[in-house]
Chain A
């Protein structure tokens, strides 16, 4: 079914309704880096899914493993990094153990990518038009001329003025915002079902950031693509995502509908993170501080990795590692939400 992706009228593809069938399923994914000092686990048994037409935000501080998760899904882990366990399924088909050539064809065709720095995602020696037509022709059997027409359509779709003139220009002739638009166009070339956007707006100024976010949102709605939006900016997630997964030290600390996670955080880490973000219109009081910093991968604490920094940690947190469990309308990996623990606390209190 995958090779049959056609390009007939793909620019104006009818909006696919949002269904409940997951486009991407990740189960117990584990990414490891063997080093001289032992094996580092950058992503540790994480499971999540992205439904059709859904935007899943993945937030976390640097070193939380969010980019590593995205890289593992598209199979671009740099050796010696490797997937050490778990499964990744795209529309029901397992993709984490595909041979290199087959995965290469899927990349771009079924999973699109947008990276942080638009200058490094484009080859400075080729024109923008070459990038686009090359990608289009790799994943379809359009002729040179048809591919160029489709490239022009894409450029105007992502809001680049005068595409006929711009298509033969080189990346350095574009501004940062315009370059990121080209990268978005590249990701959309083959109408992928899933787009992994890794910090797509971090390198851009706020006014341009707003334009790019709105563009991504609109295009995904029109093309019916699902998005995995990786960023450290909670504001971007709050405005864009349907659900959000909060990562900490290679694990998902909390996942749930975006309003729930922002306004009604269940995991102490999420709670601290939300309080640490300055807001306009908020008080000028001191921000909530999470003491310490994220542990290094060589020194992940036992039990819940957050316990040394957690104000609510108790004995069990130091011994046993919590898995995601229902908490309010979200899921949180925190023993505070274990029914047994709740019962015990009530008994004590």
Chain B
């Protein structure tokens, strides 16, 4: 690459690349204007993301996990500026994204991040050749000029992700799902970004192909010093790829910590429940505490801690008062029971 730095250390250099503070996003999901007027329906707001804060050190992978509707994809979109936050701020290399008013101010920043989406069938234009798809960010940001230079660069990128330079002449439909995801990654790398947001990049793939893509992403991170924000609902994948993991529930980040610590010593009852719920290959036959119930509607979430109706440790305070983030080790937990120390130690496996 044009400015490939010397390979950085395996993980963080300590410097914070992305900082998210008190981030919130509310969507207006009211009925149409006429219905509100004629039928007297009120305005309805959905809080998709509520008071989320975390930092991602350069060169590391921060993952967000949670069940559908917990707001993890909304956070991803807020972070890259596809949505404007309703409250709070996102700082990228110290620049507050909300302060940026014009496209021209945004452009140099835009080059520094990229996105990989879940569905490699929907995220590639079927009428474009792969070489054009990969070259688009190069052309848009004006990184190279001259057809030959761009062609050479596209060839390099395709080879970097394990395809052949000749594949550029083909159309997306000629590739399998895994190969298409490689094309998405090549496109993401084309603008030489520092930061890549990966929204469920392997959920649509088979396990053996998923393994190829995860290995590729780890290799690229080592070689290019990339920083990832990784969104997934698959805890095993998250464990495998992350340095830090945040668990979201109904728009709130209920716990985040170092990946190994979070999985070996989960604090929040919801994290414990999630870990308990995944079927594993070990068939350890460990006693599970099945948690009943489902995720409530985000339009009318329960008062206090959102998890209280499903939580075995909930008490009066949990039902009325929203828990604040409590520093625990490197991470944070939002739980009254943890704060008061009335949570039993998790049964060690």
Binding site for B on A (CB under 8 A): 61-62, 175, 177-178, 205-211, 213-214, 232-236, 238-240, 258-259, 262, 272-282, 284, 286-290, 293-294
Contacts and interface: CB of A to CB of B under 8 A. Distances in A.
B277 A206 contact: yes
Contact of A277 (B212, B236, B283, B294): B236
Contact of A238 (B215, B273, B283): B283
A3 to B, nearest CB: 38
Contact of A276 (B67, B176, B210, B218): B210
| Contact residues of B: prevailing secondary structure | helix
Contact of A289 (B215, B240, B280, B283): B215
Interface in B232-286: 233, 235-237, 239-241, 263-264, 273-283
B209 interface: yes
B283 A236 contact: no
B35 interface: no
A288 B290 CA distance: 32
B167 to A, nearest CB: 14
| Contact residues of A: prevailing secondary structure | helix
B148 interface: no
A288 B208 CA distance: 8
B206 interface: yes
Contacts of A280: 235-236, 239, 263, 275, 278, 280
B211 interface: yes
B211 A289 contact: yes
Q: List 7 tightest A-B contacts by C-beta distance, closest first.
A: A276-B211, A278-B240, A235-B279, A61-B206, A205-B67, A287-B211, A210-B277
Interface string B277-311: 11111110000101110110000000000000000
A239 B214 contact: no
Given A207-B273, A211-B290, A232-B207, A279 B214 contact: no
A277 B281 CA distance: 9
A211 B280 contact: no
Nearest to B264: A281
B230 to A, nearest CB: 13
Contact of B207 (A61, A205, A214, A240): A61
28 contacts: A205-B233, A206-B235, A207-B67, A209-B279, A210-B277, A210-B279, A211-B290, A211-B292, A213-B279, A232-B207, A234-B281, A235-B278, A235-B279, A236-B279, A238-B280, A238-B282, A238-B283, A239-B283, A273-B208, A274-B281, A280-B239, A281-B263, A282-B239, A284-B240, A289-B208, A290-B212, A293-B176, A293-B206
Interface of B: 67-68, 176, 178-179, 206-212, 214-215, 218-219, 233, 235-237, 239-241, 263-264, 273-283, 288, 290-292, 294-295
A211 B219 CA distance: 37
A233 B203 CA distance: 12
Contacts of A290: 208, 211-212
A241 to B, nearest CB: 10
Given A272-B208, A293-B178, A262 B236 contact: no
B240 A282 contact: yes
Given A205-B67, A239-B279, A278 B295 contact: no
Nearest to B212: A289
A273 B29 CA distance: 44
Given A272-B208, A279-B236, A284-B240, A207 B277 contact: yes
Given A213-B279, A280-B275, A282-B240, A175 B207 contact: no
Contacts of B237: 278
A210 B274 CA distance: 10
A21 B263 CA distance: 43
Contact of A235 (B240, B274, B281): B281
Contacts of A210: 276-279, 288, 290
Most chain A CB atoms below 10 A, which of B208, B219, B233, B288: B208
Contact of A287 (B68, B176, B215, B275): B215
Contacts of B233: 205-206
Contacts of A274: 281
Contacts of A207: 67, 273-274, 277, 291, 294
B211 A288 contact: yes
A128 B274 CA distance: 30
A209 B281 CA distance: 16
A276 B277 contact: no
A95 B15 CA distance: 67
Nearest to B214: A287
Contact of B67 (A62, A206, A275): A206
A209 B233 CA distance: 12
A231 B334 CA distance: 36
B235 to A, nearest CB: 6
B240 A206 contact: no
Contacts of B212: 289-290
Contacts of A287: 211, 214-215, 240
A208 B288 CA distance: 14
Given A234-B207, A293-B176, A293-B209, A208 B281 contact: no
